C-alpha cells in the first residue's frame, strides 16, 4: 500500500494489541509479514550530511523529555543554538 503507510501501521498495531489482550500471543513480526512486502529499492536511507543535525535533534528531544520529567539533562537552549549554528552560513 503506497502512500498509506501510517494507516496500515496503525491498523497492524491495533490488531496486534487486540491479539495480545485476547491472550493470543502473536509476534509483531509475524503479523506484519502477513501484510507488508518491503521493496528495498523504495527504502529511504539517511543522508550523511544531515547526520550531525539528526543526532543533535535527538539530544534536544531527550533533554526536553528530561525537563518534563523534572530530571537533570542537557540544556535544550544550548542544543537548539547548536542546531541553528549548523545551518548559518
Per residue of the chain (89 residues), what is the pLDDT tens digit? Answer: 677 889 999 999 999 999 999 999 899 999 999 988 888 888 888 888 888 889 999 999 999 999 999 999 999 999 999 999 887 75
Q: Report residue 45: phi and psi, to 5°.
A: -115, 150
Domain chopping of the chain, boundaries:
5-41, 48-87
Rg (CA), the chain: 19
pTM: 0.52
**Tell me, what's the pLDDT at 35?**
87
Amino acid at each position: 500500500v503506497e502512500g498509506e503507510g501510517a494507516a496500515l501501521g496503525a491498523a497492524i498495531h491495533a490488531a496486534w494489541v487486540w491479539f495480545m489482550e485476547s491472550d493470543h500471543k502473536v509476534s509483531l513480526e509475524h503479523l506484519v509479514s502477513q501484510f507488508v512486502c518491503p521493496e528495498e529499492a523504495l527504502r529511504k536511507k539517511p543522508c550523511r550530511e544531515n547526520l550531525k543535525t539528526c543526532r543533535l535533534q535527538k539530544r534536544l528531544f531527550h533533554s526536553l523529555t528530561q525537563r518534563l520529567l523534572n530530571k537533570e539533562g542537557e540544556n535544550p537552549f544550548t542544543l537548539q543554538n547548536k542546531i541553528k549554528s549548523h545551518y548559518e552560513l
